[in-house]
Amino acid sequence: MTGPVARNLIRTMFVNKGNADKLSVRPADVPKSKVTKLGVLGAGMMGAGVAYVSAMQGMEVILIDSTTEQAEKGKAYSAKLLAREVEKGRRTQEQAEAVLARIRPTTDYAQLEGADLVIEAVFEHRGIKADVTAKAEAVIPKTAVFASNTSTLPITGLAKASKRPKSFIGIHFFSPVEKMPLVEIIVGKQTGNEAIARALDYVGQLKKTPIVVNDSRGFYTSRCFGTYTAEGAKMLSEGIDPQLIESAGRLAGMPVGPLAVSDEVSLELAYKVMSQSREDLGAKYKEPVSWPVVRHFVEDLKRLGRKSGAGFYDYPEGGKKVLWSGLANEYPRLAQQPSIEELKTRLLYIQALETARCFEEGVLRSVHEADLGSILGWGFPAYTGGTLSYIDTIGPAKFVAECKRLARLYGERFKPTKGLLARAQSGASYYDGAAQGCRQSILRGTTSMSLVLIERRGRVAILTLNRPESLNAFTSGLRESLLSALNEVNADESVRAVVLTGAGRAFSAGADLKAEPMTSGEAVERMLNEEFGASLRAIARMPKPVVAAVNGLASGIGVSFALVCDLVVLGESAFMQLPFAKIAIVPDGGLTWLLTERVGHRRAFELAISGERVPAAKCLEWNLVNRVVPDDQVVTAAVAWAEQLCDAAPVALGYMKQLLRSAPDMGYEQTIRAEARLQAPCIDSQDFAEGVAAFREKRVPKFSGR
């Protein structure tokens, strides 16, 4: 049981899945919750499935649709499933009737009064979703969480229709809901910890496995799964035999061929999603390679997928589906067909490559959730361990070389990412970060120099902002490079602590206003929330300790990047500056909260208003920083401190960070409950057993982080 297949399966399907099922990523500062009354808006296939699995767990379900007939049809779905259960002897008739009694089909939104959670599962149209959101929020209590089951539309955009965006979240089920074990929880720009925790609690009630991802168009699973179906459609348009395409998908380990699954999902739905994306993005929209085929089938051929009885396949009544004979007329076959191995490679590589993009963009929060989501969400072959394990098993250098070959033959969509190129150069895998010493992660930028350097010193990773010629002022490239580097070291289990510093004579001069002038308030808001916010949140939420080594000027949002770290070491000649008031803007990057937490309201107000330099001595006196050291010892001192923290138990340290960051917003009683709740996973960990054993044996413990 030591081969790569066994290793990958055990790691993803036992270890990673076990942690996810325990809700290991649940915010610690929110009391445990339970849904007793659930609202479901939309009684189609997804809504009906959500109603069924929720009623099965004892919840009262209000199932709403635009007509009584549609709502009743949604309940009938549960009746059909329960009848099968009774027929097979898995449930008594009385038990089935009790479940059905908990589902109340209606058109009346007033019946949502008292609901703990509402999930909308209506059509993938922004206007329709906004309408049902407003109707539901007019009735439900202020304490309720509102969730969208959208599979593609960004949660942040949908939340604009909500009066309480902190309680707005994505809860994405997979079809058929009663069979698929995964639920993808999507965190919008304004989604609060309480909404995240309560969504996870609900998934736990359903006994399903959750992953938590950040907001993006298509999120993680739909975005990557879409590359599989799109590649199948592109192959068809190239003249490849459709039977060969379907066989390649199944032989690669996918549960269904790309054309068949496109029919199941619905070509019409794919058409609507692409159309909505074009409308939302305008000139920024990039047309998927499958669009010409999908458009032709929907607009010209009126073959909408299985639900309409015709798509890539024909669905004769009472018979088995068969590939439509007209495909050969629409897309004439190549005289020389490619090998099935080449098709398998295209289908698997395109999915893994898109996962790597999601990881580098910060859509994915961990390698573990990437792998788990790919297998349980859309059926990536289990033997691989998941999409990122697949890359690791092949080897980054070999994977990148093959991507380059595929890109030359089939197009830019196969071009390897900057992060993958860096891994190919360094040899670092997603799971073990094998490369030691100094290595450069070439993540963004047009020059050969990396914008963020990653150096390993034992168990400590040093991230260096590397734009010394501009005092490490942030551009979009530096922001994205830093986020990718943070994700990389967070996923590397051999890294126990992180040091953040700047190259040259500055930590960071803040935003680069020359490269990115503030010309639009809306654009600046998006940049601060989505781009700066992603990196700052990554530091704040990282379970590993992060030490800032401020070696020179820290100005503007550069101060935010220093203060969001757990500990701050400052050079004796270094200083901080908050010039916001002098240029007629407010502090950003969460700085008002960070300042108030560290120095109190009055001193925070003085610092923000004056805009004057704050020298090292005053920074220390006012508790802005933890230590001041000679200029030539800043990084050395920070690394030494980080190395000491590496001896702490990682499991307990991660939870301790959560508690300490949450404590200012919690009362004493709530803090007691949060501490008590987090003792359980600590005591269940291998680290606790090792700590107790080491104490009894009077030796230094060796914590594994498990």
Q: How far is CA 48 from CA 55, 64, 305, in A?
A: 11, 10, 20
Ordered alpha helix ranges (H), 2-67: 4-10, 17-21, 45-56
Which amino acid, one-letter code, is at 512? D
Q: Which residue has the tokens 């220093």?
A: 562
Q: Which of 339, 268, 328, 352 is nearest to 304 (CA)?
A: 268
The SS3 call for residue 37 is strand
* Residues present in the chain in total: 706
DSSP 384: G
The SS3 call for residue 545 is coil
Q: Are 564 and 547 in contact (CB under 8 A)?
A: no
Other CB atoms within 10 A of residue 360 CB: 24
Q: Which two tokens stand for residue 138?
A: 């007019």
Q: Angle 367-378/221-237 helices, nearest 10 degrees?
A: 60
C-alpha span between 162 and 315 (Å, rounded): 41
Type and span of the H or E element at 387: helix 387-394
Return the exposure string of 248-287: e unless at least 16 CB atoms fall within 10 Å of the residue's CB, then b: bbeebebeebbbbbbbbbbbbbbbbbbbbbeeeeeeeeee
C-alpha span between 194 and 200 (Å, rounded): 10
Q: Which two tokens stand for residue 118?
A: 């509402």
C-alpha span between 380 and 348 (Å, rounded): 8
Number of helices (H), then strands (E), in the chain: 30, 21
Ramachandran assignment for 575, one of left (phi > 0), alpha (psi -120 to 50 degrees), beta (any other): beta
Other CB atoms within 10 A of residue 314 CB: 16
Q: Which of 507, 511, 508 is nearest to 587 (CA)?
A: 511
C-alpha span between 385 and 392 (Å, rounded): 10
**Strands 438-441 and 322-323, sheet pairing:** unpaired
DSSP collapsed to 3 states, 462-497: EEEECCHHHCCCECHHHHHHHHHHHHHHHHCCCCCE
Q: Are 524 and 556 in contact (CB under 8 A)?
A: no
Q: Which residue has the tokens 């997979």?
A: 174
Which residues are part of the catalytic machinery? 172
First-to-last alpha carbon distance for the chain, in angstroms, is 21
